[in-house]
Amino acid sequence: MLLTIGIIMKNEEKYLPLCLDGLKPIMEALLCQLIIVDTGSTDKSVEIAKKYTDDVRYFEWCDDFSAARNVTLQGALGEWYMFIDADEIFTKTDELINFFRSGEYKNYNSATITIRNYKDYEKTEYADFMAPRLTKILPDTKFERRIHEGLTTYNYPLKNIDCLLDHFGYVMTDDTAVSKGERNIPLLMKELEEDPDNSMTYMQIAESYKGIDVDKSIEYCNKGIEINEKNPHYSVHAIFLDKAEAYARKNDYEMVLQTIKEHDEFKKRSDVDSKVGLDIEFFYIKAMTLVLLKRHEEAIPAFREYADFFKEYSQGKYHTADIMLGAVKYDTADAFATAMLRAASCCIETRKFNSCLDFLTSVPVKEKLSDSEYMHTYIKCLIIVCQSLKNYSAIKRIYMNLDDNNKYVFCGYIGSYMSEKGAQFAKEIAKLHINSDIDRALAIYISSEEKDLSETELVSSLKELKAIMQKNPDVQALAKFAAENIKKKLDEKLSPAPTSELEALAKVVKNNIRGFIESGKIAEARMYLNQLKELCPNDNEITVLENMIENALQ
């Protein structure tokens, strides 16, 4: 038997089928044993579990997670052991299967897998955790600690396996977070009585108090740090981090920075690593805290520290033991992009435009294109920098590195910004000669803005823009903006001069509606359109404006 998989459960019927279905690729590819231990379910969990394994065991709950998990080790036949929770779902297993199939497992004693802790059911917010879940089974392999249990034989050499478990256990309200903390604290206090010098226990108590009593959380952080003065343990880095985050909850930003400084001083000891994986969290928090304090000059080098460390961390460096204690939040492309945009804003505040451009060009634009609010701010910062440096080449460089779908979106943001800056901005973009279709669309737009074109010329321009859109999908969003602008001018020429105060007012309302449509403010456009219908119910432009709103939504 190659692998024994252990699960403990209680009333997990919501996620258990998904959890066990996620194990199927592993069970089918490898010689596996699945042991499930129930700790007192009153729902259909046991019935579900029996559909997937014949080895379902029962355990009378005694406030000890290790005791329950150790039952899954009794009778384990595998060379290796892996444990997961019943609300964790494998979505990526190929690397795990290959680890065993290839024989690579023979070179290691233990392994981690990535758990993605979601903060919402839509999977938009999450933090990844390199969880120590696999170990070679040895005679003394067992779980220890009543809660936040771990394996005694988890040891190096260690393999970080690129597989993924989705976990929704941290999707909770403030009330459920408090309830979970209140459940954990008594168990942890028992741990502390049995082992008063255990740094990990102080860390876990501090984390449990986070949502209940921030001052208590800080108190146990300080006690944990004091314990580490005698014999440093890698959990001390997480304790300092918990302390910094607790002060952030109190909005005491000066103490956040003081805590980070204390951590830096602690790492100067000869018996403590000078760089650890959780430094990525400290760098991020330090930089963002300096922004909150409006200390932009100091924030810029802090963001550079974060950016430099992020690159090394992303390459697998500094994946030290401390990052296996919980989810690392600021190692994602999204966190990096957010940090770089904040750094760019600090540079604009301090007029360090070259540094600003460095930060902006390091942003993983592809990952952020779907975030319209972020991209609008990004483009705005980029334009400010380009204007200040009198050099727009960065726009072309970023565009050329995108795939076709993203070029289309990027062009849309450029078009949106043209609505704010007009023909002068369009001229600067045209000078870049990104491609012939963009050049032509910009030329048509500039001509319509700077010249009083006839109705025939405007119609001809619209036809040409339509041909560009059909020919080159990448340019559609930009050409569409230019076309809408020309349609507006054409409508003005075709509309007769107002013959009454009511018609004059209607014309103002219609112009407002077009302006809202062009700037993407569809709700406001609809509100004004309803006013127009009340004002002039027979106005022949109402249908045209309704169609423009519908087109804007497509």
**pLDDT, tens digit, for every residue of 16-73?**
999 999 999 999 999 999 999 999 999 999 999 999 999 999 999 998 999 999 999 9
pTM, entire model: 0.74
Domain range spanning residue 209?
A: 178-272
pLDDT over threshold 60, residue 497: no
For 11, phi then psi, to 5°, come to 50, 60
Report the pLDDT averaged over residues 362-377. Answer: 84
Residue that wins the pLDDT comparison between 145 and 245: 245
Of 243, 96, 212, 116, the closest CA to residue 169 belongs to: 116
pLDDT > 90 fraction of the chain, expressed in percent and rounded: 55
- Residue 496 DSSP one-character state: P
Q: Of all residues in the chain, what percent are helix, strand and coil, respectively (each to 5)? A: 60, 10, 30
Domain check: are 135 and 40 in the same one?
Answer: yes
Strand partners, 136: 80
Report the pLDDT averaged over residues 246-267. Answer: 97
With respect to residue 204, please indicate whether it lies within any of the assigned structural domains.
yes
pLDDT > 70 fraction of the chain, expressed in percent and rounded: 97
Mean pLDDT of the chain: 90
With respect to residue 427, please indicate whether it lies within any of the assigned structural domains.
no
Domain check: are 104 and 222 in the same one?
Answer: no
Domain check: are 119 and 25 in the same one?
Answer: yes
Domain check: are 154 and 254 in the same one?
Answer: no
Bridge pairing between strands 32-38 and 56-58: parallel
- Report how far residue 355's alpha carbon sits from residue 378's, in angstroms, rounded to the nearest whole number: 15
- Report how far residue 334's alpha carbon sits from residue 271's, in angstroms, rounded to the nearest whole number: 34
Find out whether 509 and 535 touch, Cβ atoms under 8 Å: yes
Least confident of 71-75, 197-201, 540-544: 540-544
With respect to residue 392, please indicate whether it lies within any of the assigned structural domains.
no
Q: How many domains does the chain contain in total?
A: 3
Q: Is 177 left (phi over 0), alpha (psi -120 to 50) or beta?
A: alpha
Q: Among 171, 197, 230, give the residue marking a domain's end.
A: 171
- Residue 34 DSSP one-character state: E
Reduced to 3 states, what is the DSSP secondary structure of residue 4?
strand
Domain check: are 193 and 113 in the same one?
Answer: no
- Report how far residue 332's alpha carbon sits from residue 322's, in angstroms, rounded to the nearest whole number: 18
Of 343, 255, 223, 254, the closest CA to residue 291 belongs to: 343
Domain check: are 266 and 193 in the same one?
Answer: yes
- What per-residue confidence (pLDDT) applies to 175? 58
With respect to residue 156, please indicate whether it lies within any of the assigned structural domains.
yes
Q: Among 226, 241, 272, give the residue marking a domain's end.
A: 272
71: domain CATH number? Answer: 3.90.550.10
221: domain CATH number? Answer: 1.25.40.10
Domain check: are 268 and 243 in the same one?
Answer: yes
- Report how far residue 275's alpha carbon sits from residue 309's, in angstroms, rounded to the nearest whole number: 10
> pLDDT digit string (tens) for 130-142?
899 999 999 999 9
Domain check: are 7 and 140 in the same one?
Answer: yes
Domain check: are 541 and 500 in the same one?
Answer: yes
Residue that wins the pLDDT comparison between 296 and 375: 296
pLDDT over threshold 90, residue 485: no
Q: Among 272, 290, 310, give the residue marking a domain's end.
A: 272
